Homo-oligomer: A and B are copies of this chain.
Amino acid sequence: MARKVEVTDVILRDAHQSLMATRMAFEDMAPACEALDAAGYWSLECWGGATFDSCIRFLNEDPWVRLREFKKLLPKTRTQMLLRGQNLLGYRHYEDGVVERFVDKAALNGMDVFRVFDALNDPRNLETALKAVKKTGKHAQGTICYTISPVHTIERFVDMAVQLQDMGVDSICIKDMAALLKPQPAYDLVKGIKERCGEDMLIHVHVHATTGVTLVSLMKAIEAGADIVDTSVSSIALGPGHNPTEALVEMLEGTGYETGLDMEKVYSARDHFAKIRPRYKEFLTDFMGVETEIFKSQIPGGMLSNMESQLKQQGQGDKMKEVLEEVPRVRKDSGYPPLVTPSSQIVGTQAVFNVMMGRYQAMTGEFQDLMLGYYGETIAEKDPEVLKKAQDAAKKDVITCRPADLLKPEWDDLSAKAKDLEGFNGTDEDVLTFAMFPQVAPGFFKTRAEGPKNLGRDPSLTSGPVDPSHPGFLSQPIEYQVTLNGKTSRVTVAPQ
């Protein structure tokens, strides 16, 4: 008897976020839903991450409507979302009341599985969201962001899994957004979690394909007992995206593991998205090969291009090598944060500042906040001298409490402000939209009645790349034209 390995397909969310700048319109996904729903997936990731932002910023689509529509079209399969813990889908910490309301509303509108993560792996930033999910009766998935550094050991990741278990999660996700998880650590990590948390703790493995090794890592994770893995139908997969679902299924033949997926349905979805894909040519990542130097530099591709762009704007494109050498130092000084949005941009920008202006002569406000604990706790001690400098420059105290503990209730204030906006529809959902994207929501509310813009059908509708003119700029996604290995790509740097 083969053991069943469950599959989550990310085609409706992370696949197009990773490969076509999150631009896919709902109407281009809807026709594939019947096949996807019938294929036998454990869940379909279809909401959260950058899709909410993209919906209101670029597509004139109401994300709450999108969620309800997906729920209707996927009656047999769990819907799944990616949630940035206390940040929700926005770019700052929210007060607990807002987090609870968001989770409630997402559940009511049709969300089944909440994958909750924090960029610093600080469990306190996950706590409120996970509790709120549990309260709704939906599936609360606690997430470990996988990274590599001298202090990130299997043991410490396993410790975090135990902390998540203690918080009552229904499953644990190993999230490898930069494709750093090699086969042997994948095996060791899954094995370690199963040993400490018990065989019954569901383990869900999320990897990207960027480095070319992670399908092998999925094999090893499965051999170690992983229960669910993330893949994407092959027509929107690979490169900085995910491993193809079809390859996963075929890989397992004869191994004693099987997915039980109905391949005819998967092929049907594949054929649909193969037709859709060329429409989004303008947004498609050009570089579809593999990039393995990240194992040495520990710097994700998106971060690399971000720094390159910042240097070039300052006319200092020749300083890239020094910046690359500065990054590990800044990372060490700041307590080895995982390099994922927003910490990757914070560390990268500070490294650029250090090279251009002398080490810690100038600091971004975000870097000061990272040093002082305002994003949460890091895994290692921070450098005391740099900490002192940050404190002096920011004229703020170091905090050791959960950052959201400093926030006052803000729902009433957000509601009042939202009410004044033209086009506000009076729902809590609209208040939440405004809360997360106070700059963008007002414009969206105004134009919402015009209906969705399909950038695939008419690419001229796009508002174009945002000018990354302020290097410390972190509050919204930035797009760059990046030339890597002689190929020019469009890269979006945006919170996950």
| Whole-angstrom CA separation of A425 from B211 in the bound complex | 49
Size class of the A contact interface (CB-based, 8 Å): 35 or more
Taking CB atoms, residues of chain B closer than 8 Å to A486 are 274-275, 277-278
Residue A226 interfacial (CB < 8 Å): no
Taking CB atoms, residues of chain B closer than 8 Å to A212 are 215, 234, 238, 243-244, 246-247, 250
| Whole-angstrom CA separation of A295 from B278 in the bound complex | 26
Residue A289 interfacial (CB < 8 Å): yes
Say how far A369's CB is from chain B's closest CB, in angstroms: 34
A237-254 residues with Cβ-Cβ distance < 8 A to B are 237-238, 243-244, 246-247, 249-251, 253-254
Taking CB atoms, residues of chain B closer than 8 Å to A485 are 235, 270-271, 274
Taking CB atoms, residues of chain B closer than 8 Å to A183 are 219, 251, 255
Residue A439 interfacial (CB < 8 Å): no
| Residue of B216, B249, B254, B263 touching A219 (CB-CB under 8 A) | B216
| Whole-angstrom CA separation of A290 from B215 in the bound complex | 13
Residue A185 interfacial (CB < 8 Å): yes
| Whole-angstrom CA separation of A187 from B182 in the bound complex | 20
Residue A474 interfacial (CB < 8 Å): no
B293 touches A253 (CB 8 A): no
A289 touches B235 (CB 8 A): yes
Taking CB atoms, residues of chain B closer than 8 Å to A275 are 486
Indicate whether A251 sits within 8 Å of B213 (C-beta atoms), given known contacts A267-B293, A274-B485, A274-B486. yes
A162-209 residues with Cβ-Cβ distance < 8 A to B are 182-185
| Whole-angstrom CA separation of A74 from B277 in the bound complex | 43
A-B contact pairs, 17 of them (CB 8 A): A182-B250, A182-B251, A211-B247, A212-B250, A213-B247, A213-B251, A219-B219, A235-B289, A235-B485, A238-B238, A244-B292, A247-B290, A249-B292, A263-B296, A267-B293, A277-B486, A278-B487
Extra 11 A-B pairs, beta carbons < 8 Å, given A215-B215, A244-B289:
A212-B246, A215-B216, A216-B219, A238-B289, A238-B290, A249-B292, A263-B296, A267-B293, A274-B485, A277-B486, A288-B288
